[in-house]
Structure 1
């Protein structure tokens, strides 16, 4: 199924507006054709070739509708001429034409008016679904993607779909209707001349379609390059301190300019092909008009011709009426080709497979009673296993610390326990139940997470702490902040708990940000706590404050602590030493020091440092 057809599903909730748009476009097309047909008797009056019709024309079926309408119009004109002269008939035709043009434009406006609700609704729904997909997809998906490219798909690609697809929708409804009604009118005036036109139009259509063959491919490359440009921009803003510190401004500027130049080159090609559609179709239309004038003129001038001069000029007017819709359809065709590239990029996100799914009839688990167990687990991110046949039990209420060199698998264990990733082999059990059998929501409700990098949002202190908890109040938030040693600095902020802390909490120091993260975990009050190097990025004073907060938080709570600074885990019930995804030692702090093994080496190295 083409990207265009897949995106159309977002139109279905707005079918009411779609139906109204079609109705108003049908009326617009009818009034558009009638506004041209009304000129035929006017031309007859001006040429002095008006037909005297002395009695009304009877209706003889849809096949002779033109004869019925023109006959009765001429009958009315004949009555007016007899009663008040040619001037009165002329005034009547002019008034009728004015009414038809007014109706045509009213229905055109109404069609556009209802279409705006459909367009804006579809864009809103597409963006909402992309965002929901971002929240659903596992962390592994984002490690392979550029942030800027994902942002580009949510912004510029969705905008392109709106411009290319949804604007084309109206053209694909209205313009074919206009063409069909116009062709019916043309057939009614002259079958022979219209059949001649049918031979010419496919030739023009073939030439136009040949121009657009590479448009979709070029548009796709252009949209990808825009994603690359936004990625560079996002990286630059995030790493501005390093760029300036290493005086790498010229290098960063050169990289950005190279990307924008590539986009400039690609978009020039896309836009030029798109803009070629209108002049090409207009020129081909003019060529066709000239040929029709030659062929139709011969028919009118022929001795046995049934076509009157005013009908021939009306016929030319009708053919001109086809040109704009034909150009609009051509532009819509180009737009769809260009929009297909953006739709394809959007669908790559919406149709991305999420390997970490809830099982059907997943277990609902509300509490934690016995232990967490890692049972013979194997895991790899790509090719090499990070964890190999790893087993560990964490009884309820105990604190287990994981230590070891970078890459030994410490943070991986935390990511597996929360099901940010799934094990390749083995199983992780909570109270004897495989975590794959527990719904992800219930599983993560059992856990609180404090990471090395304090992840805060551009919002108030209150909203950052209360994230993930429902029906909370200021008293509970303040209580959690006191446990996390955060209340002391919060009360000195300009608006205290209602103070906005800026992008990523940049208005706060590192220690303050970390204490807010701890307060957030305390407020959630989960039975299992995961601390991923929560103090490694702090100075000594901040570390002491944060460590005191952590000690309060971990009292009588099951904790998995990933530690870089070994001084922070001396009170742990069990210290597990990892090397290359396997346990090499485990025990209490003093026991491991007495062994003078791997743990002793790590402590000694940190003491020397």
Structure 2
């Protein structure tokens, strides 16, 4: 068994969690006081009962009995009030702490490199940000403070029992170590079981999320039966993980009840015999008080084991969440220059890049783009065209070389201002489950609805948007499923245009859209590229012909560059062959 699994409590982890309690010190101190008060009041009722029996009932003095009843009633009221406050503020502290951790986690995720997401499961990250967070909240709401309360209750009850009758206490304490040992063994195995459960929950979430997202592909290729079998296997492992916890519970809790019952029986036998024999070792009040005390001593221990389950799940979840928070996968944003506007000169100088070590995607490419020029990039799939877009926006760090805009290395420019000045229209358009207006502005308060409409009219998409139910306030649902691919593309063009970028990057995607949408996209392309530096991954002949320069890529290298006419003059040139195979057919059509 690993060292991690052997440790019941991770002290370092708890210290880290307590750092988030600092803003809520007053609530924490209040809870600590309530823990003490609840422990004292829990032991008070049996104590008062003992004296009521010995000093009123047994000696037949009814006048004092009413005072004991009133005292017990007052204790009950106070205990109820303190219990209510304790439960509420424990949960309140847990939820506020988790809110802070969740915000930190999400802010951390927002700054990760794309490489991190390339290698991570979305389902697992969702589990970390949602399900695991609730388990962390339970550490305080249902775990830690409850355990402290139960432990303190046991200490107080222990002290009162010894001071009341040491003979009966001895019987109880002979039985107590048996339950304590069983509790420790139970905690040890439950920690391992819960780690297994959390692993399977992550796997299950990841599997379901990916299959729901790719449901169309599964149905198109009739993979329903195969995926169903995979799901049942994962679900079976998840069930077995939970059944382990159920098995450990089913052993421990009946054992705890058995030990408690045996202890009560032993006390009742010895105490009852002493009362009958009148040997003055045990009074009737002692006997009744101890019968009340035993569950109060054994039940907290049983509850500690139960709450420990919650605590263990929270600890496992916290470990996973902090692992993400501790991950250093951010782009190095040490630039000091704030780019308010770029003239638009772009230079790639001997840029080398690898997604995977020792597998170069770009092999020392160099090219220049003058301000206001439109360059087209063509090449086979995997040649490195989209990588150029990713590197210009610093989604990934280059291995060697320099990328400069207006003669300044982009690493010297703050990341936020760099990306603000570069607008990208991707081939795979992503829309959020929100209105068209919010998908265009991305909730930027500096862009008004009037500006959006004016921009839409300029690039010729206002009529299309206005024809939708609700117009600009039409909700496109998740990933924009209410729109066609061409319509989504038009929205992405407008989203780029309203930001008034200095540099525009287009990954054209008109091959799968209808002719009407294609015409609108072509018109929009001409409008938004006019007068600004543009880099276009070309899929259509019209874009290539109008480009000021064409970069021809193959296997991570620029093999040719020039205008359309210049490249066609090269005998057996790469571009000429590509043109004749791919683009000439389009021209003929």
2:49 alignment partner, one of 31, 39, 52: 39
Q: Are 1:216 and 1:340, in contact at CA under 8 Å, matched by a contact in 2? A: no
Number of residue-to-residue matches in the alignment: 573
The aligned residue for residue 15 of structure 1 is 25
Distance in 2 between the 1:470 and 1:110 partners? 42
Aligned: 1:25 with 2:35: yes
Q: Are 1:165 and 1:335, in contact at CA under 8 Å, matched by a contact in 2? A: no
The aligned residue for residue 605 of structure 1 is 581
The aligned residue for residue 375 of structure 1 is 349
What are the equivalent positions in structure 2 for 1:31-430 lying under 5 Å apart?
A: 31-45=41-55, 48=58, 86-190=61-165, 194=169, 200-274=175-249, 276-290=251-265, 308-359=283-334, 362-369=336-343, 371-383=345-357, 384-430=359-405
1:117/1:211 CA distance change after superposition, 3 Å: closer
Deviation string for 1:194-224 (max 9, x for gaps)?
Answer: 5675565344222221123232333223222
Deviation string for 1:76-130 (max 9, x for gaps)?
Answer: xxxxxxxxx7122222222221221222122111211222322332343333333
Aligned: 1:498 with 2:508: no
Distance in 2 between the 1:345 and 1:250 partners? 33
Q: Secondary structure at the match of 1:452?
A: coil
Q: Secondary structure at the match of 1:214?
A: helix
Q: Are 1:165 and 1:339, in contact at CA under 8 Å, matched by a contact in 2? A: no
Structure 2 gaps of 5+ residues are 1-10
The aligned residue for residue 76 of structure 1 is none
The aligned residue for residue 526 of structure 1 is 501
Q: Give the superposition deviation at 1:303.
A: 10
Q: Are 1:485 and 1:549, in contact at CA under 8 Å, matched by a contact in 2? A: yes
Q: Are 2:93 and 2:140, in contact at CA under 8 Å, matched by a contact in 1? A: no
Q: Give the superposition deviation at 1:401.
A: 1.6
Distance in 1 between the 2:445 and 2:71 partners? 66
Q: Are 1:149 and 1:231, in contact at CA under 8 Å, matched by a contact in 2? A: yes
Structure 1 gaps of 5+ residues are 51-84
Q: Secondary structure at the match of 1:570?
A: helix
Q: What is the aligned-residue RMSD (CA, Å)?
A: 2.6
Tell me the TM-score normalised to structure 2 length. Answer: 0.90
Q: Give the superposition deviation at 1:595.
A: 1.1
Distance in 2 between the 1:484 and 1:217 partners? 60
Q: Give the superposition deviation at 1:589.
A: 0.8
Bigger Rg, which one: 1
Distance in 2 between the 1:99 and 1:289 partners? 28
Q: Give the superposition deviation at 1:503.
A: 1.5
Distance in 1 between the 2:251 and 2:459 partners? 65
Q: Are 1:211 and 1:273, in contact at CA under 8 Å, matched by a contact in 2? A: yes
Q: Give the superposition deviation at 1:421.
A: 0.6
1:295/1:394 CA distance change after superposition, 3 Å: farther
Distance in 2 between the 1:557 and 1:412 partners? 21
